[in-house]
């Protein structure tokens, strides 16, 4: 085979680089979200699906447990983005962050923080079944990565959203609740927990794969004890992580590593129901096992009352996205006995990134009625938060004994705090 000339190689590299730059510039524009539309502006078919989704739900108890806030911190919010993701010198990293911002309705870095929150509030206001009956959202802080010796590693963190910022948003906007994020390896972790609780945080969020947290580590035990004392549920990413830098620590997303928190009486929410990836089965010879299977095993023990003083919930954020294995939804719908231990979250703004939300495969698998695809797509374009609720309410598993759907209580996620 004839070797390509140097000129050919250079032209090819130049064309590839130009294509990459073009993609980086075009993709956020192409994926721009449209204006928020009221339900009354939708087609009759879409309005009927919205009405059916809200039927039987108490709007005051409908709470989206998984809503991210992001920003550059240029107006005093304290938000921070790793320079690699904020710089045009790193087009791939910048593209990834721009997709998140574009999905949140942001197109200007200088006003990113305010515009993002404004659109989120508009989506919530437009999602309710009637005026004054809007659902609420738990907005998530995000702590930096911290080494086991307590030293913060900002250079290995993708972004930071301070506890003070989300607590301030919750105080200013009744539709928002604040979820703090305190890394357990910090030397002042317990003091930070107490400050966040005093400021109004109602829960704490970890992403162990990205933050470098081993939930089974001994250093976490005093942290778990304080969480139980304060009555703060712990929301923990479970399964593989692909949206945020996660280094080589995907094993930290193993649901079985949460047993220590449950043993100490903490209410734990396994985000995503560990619906992506594999981890070691720590109870059966460390064999690689789908993390969803490990999560369902723990939820079954919860149902049987065999998890000790803590409570475990599985959460549905991102389970409908295109990157999930096709059997995930069918498996979750099939386990009707576990639905009292399921709660809902959207993983906004990911649910607003159009290529991640594919309805046609759900129809092919029989999980969605064919005639509902077009009106659902219309709802997705008008309001992705409402779309997440309606889609999950319309999912069904056709079994010999009839259709199985997610129960209304799954979406009344405010019940998570009932016993605290």
- Which is nearest to 245 in space by CA: 207, 292, 290? 207
Return all residues near 70 (Cβ < 8 A) that are at least 6 apart.
Answer: 79, 81, 97, 100, 101, 104, 112, 116, 159, 161, 349
- 178 domain-assigned: yes
CA pair distance 276, 331, nearest whole angstrom: 13
pLDDT of residue 23: 43
* Residue pLDDT, tens place only, 313-334: 999 999 999 999 989 999 999 9
* Residue pLDDT, tens place only, 12-66: 433 343 443 444 444 454 567 889 999 999 999 999 999 999 999 999 999 999 9
- 29 domain-assigned: no
CA pair distance 411, 404, nearest whole angstrom: 15
User: pLDDT higher for 359 or 2?
Assistant: 359
Give the CATH number, domain containing residue 154.
3.20.20.140
Structure tokens at 85: 């993701």
- 132 domain-assigned: yes
> Residue for token digits 């930071």?
160
Spell 333-355 as b/e; 16+ CB within 10 A means b: bebeebbebbbbbbbbbbbbbbe
Task: Give the chain's mean pLDDT.
Answer: 90
Give the range of the structural domain holding residue 153, as residue numbers without chain letter.
62-317+329-350+407-417
CA pair distance 208, 258, nearest whole angstrom: 11
* Residue pLDDT, tens place only, 285-310: 999 999 999 999 999 999 998 888 99
CA pair distance 379, 51, nearest whole angstrom: 12
What's the pTM?
Answer: 0.91
pLDDT of residue 150: 97
pLDDT of residue 307: 85
Number of domains in the chain: 1
pLDDT at 278 over 60: yes
- 383 domain-assigned: no
């Amino acid at each position: 085979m004839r070797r390509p000339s140097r000129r050919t190689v250079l032209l090819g590299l130049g064309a590839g680089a130009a294509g990459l730059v073009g993609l980086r510039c075009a993709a956020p524009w192409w994926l721009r979200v449209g204006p928020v539309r009221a339900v009354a502006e939708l087609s009759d078919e879409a309005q009927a699906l919205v009405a059916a989704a809200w039927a039987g739900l108490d709007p005051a108890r409908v709470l989206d447990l998984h809503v991210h806030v992001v920003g550059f911190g240029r107006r005093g919010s304290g938000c921070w983005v790793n320079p690699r993701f904020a710089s045009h010198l790193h087009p791939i990293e910048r593209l990834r962050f721009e997709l998140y911002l574009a999905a949140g309705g942001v197109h200007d870095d200088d006003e990113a923080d305010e515009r993002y929150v404004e659109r989120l509030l508009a989506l919530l206001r437009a999602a309710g079944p009637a005026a004054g009956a809007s659902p609420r959202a738990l907005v998530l802080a995000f702590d930096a990565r911290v080494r086991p010796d307590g030293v913060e590693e900002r250079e290995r963190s993708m972004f930071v959203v301070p506890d003070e910022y989300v607590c301030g948003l919750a105080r200013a906007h009744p539709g928002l609740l604040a979820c703090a994020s305190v890394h357990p390896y910090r030397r002042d972790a317990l003091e930070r927990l107490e400050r966040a609780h005093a400021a109004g945080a109602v829960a704490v969020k970890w992403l162990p794969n990205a933050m470098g947290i081993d939930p089974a580590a001994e250093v976490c035990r005093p942290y778990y004890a304080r969480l139980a004392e304060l009555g703060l549920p712990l929301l923990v990413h479970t399964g593989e992580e692909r949206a945020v830098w996660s280094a080589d620590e995907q094993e930290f997303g193993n649901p079985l590593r949460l047993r220590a928190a449950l043993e100490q009486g903490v209410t734990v929410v396994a985000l995503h129901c560990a619906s992506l990836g594999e981890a070691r089965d720590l109870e059966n010879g460390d064999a690689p096992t789908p993390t969803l299977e490990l999560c369902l095993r723990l939820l079954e023990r919860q149902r049987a009352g065999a998890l000790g003083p803590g409570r475990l919930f599985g959460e549905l954020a991102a389970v409908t996205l295109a990157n999930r294995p096709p059997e995930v939804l069918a498996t979750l719908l099939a386990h009707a006995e576990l639905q009292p231990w399921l709660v809902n979250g959207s993983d906004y703004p990911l649910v607003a990134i159009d290529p991640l939300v594919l309805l046609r495969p759900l129809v092919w698998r029989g999980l969605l009625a064919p005639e509902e695809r077009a009106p659902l797509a219309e709802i997705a374009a008008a309001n992705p938060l409402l779309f997440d609720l309606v889609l999950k309410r319309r999912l069904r598993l056709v079994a010999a004994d009839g259709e199985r759907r997610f129960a209304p209580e799954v979406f009344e996620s405010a019940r998570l705090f009932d016993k605290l």
